[in-house]
Chain A
Amino acid sequence: MTTHPLLIRQARIIDPDSDYDAMGDVLVEGEVIAAIGPNLPAPVGADIVEANGLALIPGLIDLRVSVGEPGAEHRETLGSAGRSAVAGGVTTIALTPDTTPVIDQAALIHHLTTQGKARSPARILAVGALTKGLNGEELAEIGLMAEAGAAFFSQAQAPILRASVVKRCLDYARGFDALVSLRPQDASLAAGGVMAHGELAGRLGLKGVPALAEWIGLDRDLTLAAAGNSRFLVDQVSSAGSLPRLAAAKRANPLIAASVSINHLLLNCLDIGDYRTFAKLDPPLREESDRLALIDAVESGLIDIVVSAHDPRPPEEKRVPFDEAAFGSIGVETLLSGLLALVAEEALSLRAALAAVTCNPAKLLRAPFGRIAIGAPADLALVDLTAPIVVDLEHLRSRSRNCALDGRRLQGRVAATFVAGRKVFDRH
């Protein structure tokens, strides 16, 4: 079957990588972008999409998505995660390895990528476990998994208790030029905590996770990553006090990057209110001052990428007392609208917001997508940047309903999404 060329006409083309922002057309031939410019002639037999002034942006790349596959398909499958993603303009998702079984060998990486191609409309990237079974002790087969196409290596939420193990993981991964991502958290200080340490935790009678658990974990990991000149991604900074530490480490080793979840840019610990378990997140939501500092860090580029931290949980894990509830919120479908809401309230520039979910994660992965450029894969989203929306969990496409942003007014609606030149989502 031959594919027709695709011409998207009269779009506001925004490419954060080249800082391009102008009205024009984009021509796609096969899987890649063939031409960009005003009034492109339509090739014979081309499919035409009239953008009517909507924004055309690179498809989003979300580097932290948890699904239940394999092992807990009632939470989320590759298919349901992919459909949620493309409905939110996300064209690539990287899956955390904390499944059953843990993604800690090449066969499982291969399984996920092939299954992903067959069943998910979004690109699926498999993240390999850094240690066997995420046990935090023994190196997993990083080389073989890298060869099988693992995007990077992480521990998901599982800690590595010993600095010696972190050092060995980083050293070994460097031999394969592999990217390593770790959650900065001292496990002993965080133990048993269910929300941010502070006044509200004290009043609600809930055990808190102090911000210094993140600082101490970060100090250890950044010291090792800087000394080893490692490709390193700090997974989900949550506290303002982490930012100066991050800045210093990035000066020492430019290969260090950091992420933040969209939840931490939109919510603070008060959103827990009357024991709302949907706002029980790990890392926990912190103070408003932390939220504002994290937004500034995305704007300045100190924090490189924004992730959804999509973590689908069934009711039996969330509709229970707060102490017993699972951490996490779904979010891949609302990631873009969350960022555009911050743009609308002038907390973030459009360029910084989009770069954090397109070219920045692409550069981190050394991937060809995430930009609108001739020869780049045609992963694109056509978006009404200013449409107001209200998040309604009954209409989200995830298999799970645990949405911390339920009822929030956000902004921006995806009209259509393309992966490798093929339309994978059309709102109408």
Chain B
Amino acid sequence: MPALLSPPPAASARHFLSVQQLNRREAETLLARAQAFHRDAAPSANAPLRGRTIVSLFFENSTRTQASFEIAAKRMGAEFITMQPRASSVQKGETLLDTAATLNSMRADALILRHAASGAANLLARKLSCSVVNAGDGQHEHPTQALLDALTLVEAFGRLDGLDIAICGDILHSRVARSNVGLLSLFGARVRLVAPPTLLPAAVERWGAPVFTDMRQGISGCDVVMMLRLQTERMQGAYLPSPREFFRFYGLDAEKLRAAKPGAKVMHPGPMNRGVEIDSAIADDPAISLIEMQVEMGVAARMAVLESLIGGAP
């Protein structure tokens, strides 16, 4: 088992695993670079990642996130290789670390990983000699989503400091919520959490964000309402009685949105369950919804992350 006995990666390999690893200065630098990439939509003339190889390995499907990373990598001149876990030897009982050993021998510069297990990116980061970017690990974190959400907000409002942001829905199972609570708070936003008690994590009151089980109270006076995706398998009785009961009490519609600040904006990390956590009339209203803009900001945010990790000379 050479993979298990190999020495730890060189200390120089840097990773993007969790927003918890960032201090405010680092987060502001990343956000500023993302803004710069967004405004200068044309690929940077000197292609800072030319000669770099980036591998993406998605154990859970997400066409959108994977495409966003691919565009980001290619705009900066990197080679981008998509490994298909379904078709590869992972199906033959190969462990995640065997896969890691293969990746090490391919001498990639960065790995973009999505995996259903919390901590999968941390595990690989300990064993790989290349940089690891966490593109979502189980119910733990999705830090590039948080960065693109921060970029979206700063483009829409011109600031993050002092914004009141309510994150609503399935907080318990949401990696997006965990990353956003950390990152948006770091930028000085005031985050609140809204969910039925069965969808709140243990000791959530210690996250530093007020917790509400009543949606109207929770979004009252907010600048932003961020809805989370509700997984279908949670809706059928184990955590919630039914989709319609959830929509009645926690789904965002025009009537509930009136509790927020006039002119409040709505976000959703996608893909949406229309009519479950969000009403189409809200999601599709360009005056209210930032959802399309979030998708657009994904590329710039991921460019900033890749640049910060492997943007130096090869």
Question: Is the A/B pair a real complex?
Answer: yes
- What's the minimum C-beta distance from B14 to chain A, rounded to whole angstroms? 16
Complex Cα–Cα for A108 and B175 (A): 48
Among B1, B97, B202, the residue within 8 A (CB) of A199 is B202
A203 adjacent to chain B (CB < 8 Å): yes
Complex Cα–Cα for A205 and B139 (A): 4
Chain A residues, CB < 8 A from B203: 198-199, 202
Q: Which of A284-329 contact B (CB under 8 A)?
A: 315-316, 319-324
Complex Cα–Cα for A153 and B117 (A): 36
A-B contact pairs, 15 of them (CB 8 A): A198-B203, A199-B206, A202-B203, A205-B118, A205-B119, A205-B137, A205-B178, A210-B202, A275-B122, A275-B123, A319-B97, A321-B115, A321-B120, A321-B138, A323-B119
- What's the minimum C-beta distance from A385 to chain B, rounded to whole angstroms? 36
Complex Cα–Cα for A197 and B140 (A): 15
A204 and B119 form a contact (CB under 8 A)? yes
| Given A275-B118, A275-B123, A321-B123, CB of A205 within 8 Å of CB of B141 | yes
Chain B residues, CB < 8 A from A315: 1, 4
- What's the minimum C-beta distance from B131 to chain A, rounded to whole angstroms? 17
A274 adjacent to chain B (CB < 8 Å): yes
Chain A residues, CB < 8 A from B137: 205
Chain B residues, CB < 8 A from A323: 117-119, 138
Chain A residues, CB < 8 A from B141: 205
Chain A residues, CB < 8 A from B4: 315, 319
Complex Cα–Cα for A298 and B117 (A): 37
B178 and A203 form a contact (CB under 8 A)? yes
B202 and A201 form a contact (CB under 8 A)? yes
Chain B residues, CB < 8 A from A206: 118-119, 139-140
B95 and A204 form a contact (CB under 8 A)? no
Main secondary structure of the interface of B (DSSP, over half): mixed
Interface string of B113-148 (1 = CB under 8 A from A): 001011110110000000000000111110000000
Which residue of chain B has the shortest Cβ distance to A275 in the bound complex? B119
Chain A residues, CB < 8 A from B175: 205
A82 adjacent to chain B (CB < 8 Å): no
B202 and A202 form a contact (CB under 8 A)? yes
Complex Cα–Cα for A201 and B203 (A): 9
Among A197, A274, A319, A324, the residue within 8 A (CB) of B122 is A274
Complex Cα–Cα for A311 and B117 (A): 23
A321 and B96 form a contact (CB under 8 A)? yes
Interface string of A160-204 (1 = CB under 8 A from B): 000000000000000000000000000000000000011101111
B197 adjacent to chain A (CB < 8 Å): no
A58 adjacent to chain B (CB < 8 Å): no
Chain A residues, CB < 8 A from B119: 204-206, 274-275, 321-323
Interface size class of A (residues with CB under 8 A): 20 to 34
B81 adjacent to chain A (CB < 8 Å): no
B202 and A204 form a contact (CB under 8 A)? no
B51 adjacent to chain A (CB < 8 Å): no
- What's the minimum C-beta distance from A161 to chain B, rounded to whole angstroms? 19
- What's the minimum C-beta distance from A318 to chain B, rounded to whole angstroms? 10
A321 and B117 form a contact (CB under 8 A)? yes
Chain A residues, CB < 8 A from B95: 316, 319-320
Chain A residues, CB < 8 A from B254: none
Chain B residues, CB < 8 A from A202: 201-204, 207
- What's the minimum C-beta distance from A272 to chain B, rounded to whole angstroms? 10
Chain A residues, CB < 8 A from B1: 315
A217 adjacent to chain B (CB < 8 Å): no
Chain B residues, CB < 8 A from A321: 96, 115, 117-120, 123, 138
A88 adjacent to chain B (CB < 8 Å): no
Known: A205-B141, A321-B118. 12 other contacts (CB 8 A): A199-B202, A199-B206, A202-B203, A204-B140, A205-B138, A205-B139, A205-B140, A205-B178, A206-B118, A208-B202, A321-B123, A324-B117
Which residue of chain B has the shortest Cβ distance to A197 in the bound complex? B202
Smallest CB-CB A-B distances: 5 pairs: A321-B117, A205-B139, A202-B201, A275-B119, A205-B140
Complex Cα–Cα for A198 and B206 (A): 10
B118 and A204 form a contact (CB under 8 A)? yes
Chain B residues, CB < 8 A from A322: 117-119, 123
Chain A residues, CB < 8 A from B123: 275, 319-322
Complex Cα–Cα for A202 and B141 (A): 11
Which residue of chain A has the shortest Cβ distance to B141 in the bound complex? A205
Of the candidates A316, A320, A321, the one having the most CB atoms from chain B within 10 angstroms of its own CB is: A321
Q: Which of A268-285 contact B (CB under 8 A)?
A: 274-275
Complex Cα–Cα for A212 and B37 (A): 51
Interface string of B169-192 (1 = CB under 8 A from A): 000000100100000000000000
Among B97, B118, B140, the residue within 8 A (CB) of A320 is B97
Of the candidates A198, A205, A208, the one having the most CB atoms from chain B within 10 angstroms of its own CB is: A205
Chain B residues, CB < 8 A from A198: 202-203
